[in-house]
Amino acid sequence: MTLRDGAWRRQRLADARLYLCTPQRDDLEAFLDTVLAAGVDIVQLRDKDAARTALVRAAETLRVTVERHEALFIVNDDPELAVEVGADGVHVGQDDPSPRDAREVVGDQLMIGRSTHDVGQVSRALKEDCDYFAVGPVHATPTKAGRPPAGLAPVRLAAAVARDKPWFAIGGMAPDTVPEVRAAGARRVVVVRAITDAADPGAAVAQLRAALEG
């Protein structure tokens, strides 16, 4: 059995290319088995409307399934929940607890991710106590309703300056949009609807991996 300590988690993060955000769903275990086998490296449980008890149940399914595939499991927004359910880390937005505050809760063995939406936030994320950051939304997306697209400028900045800290392009990522963020310097992406809404999630993952790997 793999020792999922901080060193293993951060090496797995460094090797990751494809990060999925998913809400809870009735077929969660089967869905996860499909997409993880097809090439998803990281799964974030993100369901802002769910009750905590439902999130805990979904998190247990997610944790067990992700561990079976030796992938990574991230909880959205809630450092306490990440610790409670045995996640590999927590992802915090600009309006959530700061990375410093999250670190006090999760400790050194769990990872912290950070959302960034413009070049200033990208620059700050490089100095913050986070293990990775996401850049976007590159395109308008209902997942971030009301947030204007950031375009490619923050992606290009991250590509130029984030040499040692992993980062992911996010926002409207799909097989036909991945090539442009790759051209801007991204080698990792966060995906939501292109996988969660796909008629064949495994095939969608394969197409995304092919687009990422060129």
| Cα(170)–Cα(189) distance, integer angstroms | 6
For residue 142, what pLDDT is reported?
74
Domain assignment present for residue 132? The answer is: yes
In a domain, 112, yes or no: yes
Tokens 């802002």 identify what position?
48
Question: Dihedral sign, CA of 22, 27, 32, 35?
Answer: negative
**How many structural domains compose the chain?**
1
Closest CA to 183 of 159, 210, 209, 149: 159
Q: How far apart are alpha carbons 114 and 26 in whole angstroms?
A: 28
Asked if the structure places residue 1 within a domain, the reply is: no
Length of the chain: 214
C-alpha distances (whole Å) from 81 to each of 115, 179, 202 are 18, 35, 29
CATH number of the domain where residue 62 is located? 3.20.20.70
Query: Quick one: pLDDT at residue 1?
Result: 61
Handedness of CA 140, 184, 123, 99 (dihedral sign): positive
pLDDT along the chain (214 residues), means of 10: 91 99 96 99 94 94 97 98 98 96 98 98 98 96 78 97 96 98 98 98 99 93
Dist CA 41 CA 179 (whole Å): 19
Does 30 reside within a domain?
yes
Q: Is residue 126 part of a domain?
A: yes
Q: Which two tokens stand for residue 13?
A: 């993060």
What is the reported pLDDT for 144? 65
Q: Distance of CA 196 to CAs 4, 68, 171, 181, Å?
A: 27, 20, 14, 21
Domain residues for the domain of 116 are 6-213
Per DSSP bridges, beta strands 167-170 and 189-191 are parallel
pLDDT at 140: 84
| DSSP per residue, 119-160 | HHHHHHHTTSS-SEEEE--SS--GGGTTPPP--SHHHHHHHH
